[in-house]
């Protein structure tokens, strides 16, 4: 199934399109897309994915933080489907952190994000939800929300920001683990 839905990569114009709201959260095609997103994010060792990354300009994303080889320090959470998210509030506090992206393979960069976000959304069953996320999960949410707006994390890089290859980033975090 994954071969039918490859992850789009930087340079594909579909990644730059603003997504449209979901009208019917129970549409069987949408539910199938959600299944594909859940499968894809796990197989790709991601911590989040948005529908535009598979070529679907719909306002759907998945948060799936868990420790894995790409993000060994990620906190564990059950995968969460977020439909038509609306950011209600953000903290004034910004945090700089390393980000990578399944659509920008092989690169990491430091990006400033709000430390905390409050979000209203529909869950997979179409039920309204309201959630506050902090730290890493707030970062993942903001990163995936950017995909819904047609943005990539590389658009947010400070011109002076350091950009690393995936292998250099992995070497850095593993050497930091040894020091701690």
Please give the positions annotated as active site.
144
Residues in the chain: 180
Exposed e or buried b for every residue in 95-105, given b needs 16+ CB within 10 A? beebbbbbbbe
Which backbone phi and psi does 56 adopt, to 5 degrees?
-110, 110
- How crowded is the C-beta side of 123, counted as CA atoms within 13 Å? 8
Burial class (CB within 10 angstroms; exposed 0-12, middle 13-18, buried 19+) of 177: exposed
User: What token pair was written down for 83?
Assistant: 């439909």
């Amino acid at each position: 199934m994954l071969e039918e839905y490859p992850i789009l990569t930087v340079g594909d114009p579909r990644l730059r399109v603003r997504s449209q709201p979901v009208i019917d959260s129970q549409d069987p095609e949408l539910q199938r897309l959600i299944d594909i997103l859940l499968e894809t994010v796990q197989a790709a060792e991601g911590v989040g994915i948005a529908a535009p990354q598979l070529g679907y300009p719909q306002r759907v994303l998945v948060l799936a933080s868990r420790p894995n080889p790409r993000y060994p320090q990620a906190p564990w959470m059950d995968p969460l489907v977020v439909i038509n998210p609306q950011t209600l509030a953000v903290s004034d506090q910004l945090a700089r952190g390393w980000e990578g992206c399944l659509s920008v393979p092989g690169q990491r960069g430091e990006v400033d994000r709000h430390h905390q976000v409050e979000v209203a959304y529909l869950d997979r069953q179409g039920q309204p939800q309201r959630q506050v996320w902090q730290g890493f999960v707030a970062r993942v949410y903001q990163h995936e929300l950017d995909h819904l707006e047609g943005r990539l994390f590389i658009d947010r890089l400070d011109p002076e920001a350091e950009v690393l290859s995936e292998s250099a980033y992995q070497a850095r975090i593993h050497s930091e683990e040894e020091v701690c």
